[in-house]
Chain A
Amino acid sequence: MTISEFLERVQNAEPLNAFISVDETDIREQAKEQRKGMLGGMYVAIKDNISVLNQPLSCASHILENFVSPYDATAVKKLKYAGAIIAGKTNMDEFAMGSSSEYSHYGPVKNAINPEYVAGGSSGGSAVAVAAGIVDAALGSDTGGSVRQPASYNGILGMKPTYGRVSRYGLVAFASSLDQIGIMSKTVTDSARILEIIAGEDARDATTVPEPVPPFSQNLESQAGDWKIGLPEEYFTEGLSTSVRQAVDTQVATLKDAGATIVPISLPHTEFAIAIYYIITSAEASSNLARYDGVRYGFRHESDDLLEMYNRTRAGGFGTEVKRRIMLGTYVLSSGYYDAYYDKAQRVRRLLQSDFSNAFQSVDAIITPTTPTTAFKRGEKMDDPLAMYLNDIYTVSVNLAGLPAMSLPVGTDEDGLPIGLQIIAPAFKEETIFKIGTLIERLKS
């Protein structure tokens, strides 16, 4: 893609509102050089909660208006080294809190397939930028499905690596114990190539793991007969739409016909996932977002009184959904409530983790739908947080367990909206996901 082609695509796709900032001068500057390296010349968009040196970092929030990042996130630095062109910052739900990319200070992102529908979220801008062909790939962040769900809604691939696989340095924290930078792309190969580049232990992130990074993209081939795949019964119950179910069933049947072993499995603590997810993420968020106080950077409501400055800055700087979560998180950490909520949630989280480790005793991977339904209409769930939260019902457990998972497109529903299938693997077995993903791609064509 030439620079003018790229800028033209940005221009044409403007109504989708996928980008918050595109620094034309900077991109021209980057494109001028002969980009060498594994990702040479690839246009990669970055979700606006990931730091790019000297570029705005807004997290789609008023409170970070005009904030320019003084450093590169580790993942971004690695992309630059590998020759990728950093192609702008994408729109999202404010501070990655949301499932539709409608909670943005910069307006909602529109679905790339049908702009009447939501893009999904919170990495909606990244998903749409890839799906609409503006960029080759994009980085998003996934705390409870924020890469996989919008990927599913826009018919592309969304890869969420193992917790600790990719450095979080430079990813603005939402819920530190679950956040992970993810990759949105159109092919498994691109996803594998990018993960190969951005993965690895980082001295700047103590939660990264010194696990060797295999050359994923060199090792994508496998036979269906190599795999034993589990279908968790708890993921195929009421609430799952017929069209999504059919598409996933069909794909599974294809794999089975090709020789894969398919077995039913159980993840018995699944029903608690949404509850503990919202307790833990809100608790961590309430603390992570305390730094936006108007003192050092970003938006400030001036006042001679310190408390009033804090109150007005945060009241005016954060959107409704963010405030809802800060309040919820503050509550569950309060003395007298900590044990009943936060501590208990952490204990159930460990049960959920053992559900998965038990399952992986007998299967190589787990397949589920990515979301219960395809994309919904914009505005439909804006005022119904609970309905919005249920969108993540199939994705949050993966984050709570710290596992890798990918959503990949498996057809469309009767309205032509894309359907996503999720592959979950044991920790640090992204290779399994890429291989099964490649198999699915091959069986489709």
Chain B
Amino acid sequence: MKYEVVIGLEVHAQLSTNSKIFCTCANRYGEAPNTLTCPVCLGMPGTLPVLNEQAIHFAIKTGLALECSIRRYSRTARKNYFYPDLPKGYQISQYEDPICYNGKLLIETDGKPREIGITRIHIEEDAGKSIHGMGSGTGVDFNRCGVPLIEIVSEPDMRSPAEARAYLAKLKQILKYLNVSDCNMEEGSLRCDANVSLRPMGATTLGTKTEVKNMNSFRAVEKALEYEVARQTTVLDEGGRIEAVTLFWNDATEEAVLMRSKEEAHDYRYFPEPDLVPISVPEAMVETIRGQLPELPAARAERFLKAYGLNEETVRILIAEVEWARYFEDVVKTGVKAKSAATWVTGEVLRVLKEREAGLDDFPVSASRLGELIRYIEAGKISNQAAKKVFETMLTSDQAVAELIEAAGLSQVSDTDFLETIIREVLAAHPEELARYREGKKQLMGFFVGQVMKKSKGRANPKIVNQLLQSALESD
């Protein structure tokens, strides 16, 4: 039978607040285990949580960007379960009244726009991290414990694994534009669980869903969902029934294995968190945050098209990552043409970033230095080819751009006296070609330019060479 795929995603994003959500410990990744802890985040007896307002701001910011309604009074709730990485024996989350609800996100698959509903966004705290293989036992690192999270729950609106991937990519792009999360899937600052079900084409009720966890990359999301869709299709085709289970994606074996059966599902015994007062969000606060929302990808694309006269494909690439777009504009600000800046950023800069699998954070060539280099090209002081060589040297040296050009001997020769001498020599060395040219074989122009360039070791300014050659050939 032909089935319709129904996918909903639950995305957890760590918020990049300065401190943790309920204590004053720093919120940082990659520190030595248990160095970012205090009695509160360790769940010591008698300690109490105090809500970090920045986390609320970030959640509201995200909600507004995803066109959610913002709840004036929302509550926190305790989700109770035992696990060694959960010091209090419960996670402070939100249950009945999430801070944001009823939003949407526009995605595009195969060039077609699709609207994906956002059911809710709520805030909660992250748990610690188990460290296995410590000799005899397992250790727990509580640095991550209490890092603020938002959980963004979508409607079951996605109809294919590719759509799910596109949704996740779009969501990540927006979170990064908002500067509320690092969204690093490998470091776990962006995590994704999926609910998957199938139903006969045309059916309106939902089939039994399964939950897939542990998908740690975009590729894994798509792979795991394809796997699960195929598995459910087989089960249904063979007349079987789908069980409401939780599956764990193993990226190495590319298999989803059973993690929890329906019977083993937790009863989290949610109840309102008595240690915190309801979160009050005055209308004025929402409006202030709305007023401070940065330009989002769609608006930025529009602006780039209009303001810079770039083509759609170039704009799509430039705005894909907020820091690429920012870098591009910083290069433009140095006074170079937008088109040259775009060519350099989408060309050389992205090539190097991809080779290095790195972000712009630690990219060695600042926007102002790239701008400087482009200015040398635009002023005719260096050729495009030569500039690429200089760019390579800029990756490892922070010497002044002018010095690097000089040192490489790549500065373009625009000195007419010098060039005229070369031209004279070239013409003298090729009397036959000269004669043929003068007989009307104008195509030989390219030959002469090539000879001059060769003689100048590539440093001659082609524009000037052209002009000088023209007049030398036309005169006798």
Residues of A within 8 A of B (CB): 49-51, 57, 59, 64, 67, 69-71, 73, 168-173, 175-177, 203-207, 283-284, 286-287, 289-293, 295-297, 306, 310, 330, 333-335, 338, 342
Contacts and interface: CB of A to CB of B under 8 A. Distances in A.
Interface stretch (B83-91, B161-169, B314-322, B452-460): B83-91
Interface of B is mostly: loop
Nearest to A58: B45
B344 to A, nearest CB: 51
B39 interface: yes
Contact of B269 (A171, A293, A330): A330
Contacts of B48: 168-169, 204-207
B49 A206 contact: yes
12 contacts: A69-B45, A71-B39, A176-B274, A206-B49, A206-B51, A207-B276, A287-B271, A291-B43, A295-B140, A296-B87, A333-B271, A338-B271
Interface in B256-294: 267, 269-271, 274-277
Contacts, number: 98
B46 A291 contact: no
B277 A69 contact: no
Nearest 6 interchain pairs by C-beta = A290-B89, A333-B269, A176-B274, A177-B274, A172-B45, A170-B46
A206 B46 contact: no
A291 B89 contact: yes
B191 interface: no
B274 A293 contact: no
B47 interface: yes
Number of contact residues on B: which range applies? 20 to 34
A290 B92 CA distance: 13
A59 B44 CA distance: 13
Contacts of B39: 70-71
A311 B267 CA distance: 18
A335 B88 contact: no
Given A290-B82, A290-B88, A73 B46 contact: yes
Contacts of A172: 45-46
Contacts of B277: 206-207
A71 B50 CA distance: 17
B422 interface: no
Secondary structure at chain A's binding surface: helix, strand, loop or mixed?
Answer: loop
B172 interface: no
Interface in B56-94: 78, 80, 82, 84, 87-90
B43 A296 contact: yes
B42 interface: yes
Interface of B: 39, 42-51, 78, 80, 82, 84, 87-90, 140, 267, 269-271, 274-277
A310 B84 CA distance: 10
A402 B127 CA distance: 32
A73 B44 CA distance: 12
Nearest to B42: A296
Contacts of B89: 287, 289-291, 293
A82 to B, nearest CB: 20
Contact of A335 (B42, B51, B269): B269
Interface-central residue, A286, A287, A306, by most chain B CB under 10 Å = A287
Given A69-B44, A338-B269, 7 more contacts: A51-B46, A172-B46, A204-B50, A206-B277, A284-B274, A290-B90, A306-B84
A335 B87 contact: no
Contact of B45 (A59, A283, A295, A335): A59
Contacts of A334: 267, 269
A338 B80 CA distance: 14
Contact of B44 (A71, A168, A333): A71
A293 B87 CA distance: 9
B46 A287 contact: no
B50 A342 contact: no
A223 B44 CA distance: 47
A206 B44 contact: no
Contacts of B274: 175-177, 207, 284
Contact of A291 (B45, B271, B275, B276): B45
Contact of A57 (B46, B50, B51, B90): B46
Nearest to B277: A206
A66 to B, nearest CB: 13
Contacts of B47: 71, 169-170
A286 B271 CA distance: 11
Contacts of A330: 269
A173 B271 contact: no
A283 to B, nearest CB: 6
Contacts of A293: 82, 84, 89
B80 to A, nearest CB: 5
Contacts of B80: 286-287, 290, 333
A334 B82 CA distance: 15
Nearest to B51: A206
A153 B140 CA distance: 46
A318 B387 CA distance: 75
Given A206-B275, A206-B277, A64 B45 contact: yes
A69 B87 contact: no
A91 to B, nearest CB: 17
A295 B84 CA distance: 6
Contacts of B50: 203-206
A333 B79 CA distance: 11
A310 B275 contact: no
A283 B80 CA distance: 11
A291 B39 CA distance: 13
Contacts of A206: 48-51, 275-277
Nearest to B136: A304
Contacts of B90: 287, 290
A65 B131 CA distance: 27
A169 B277 CA distance: 15
Contacts of B45: 51, 57, 59, 64, 67, 69, 172, 291-292
Nearest to B49: A206
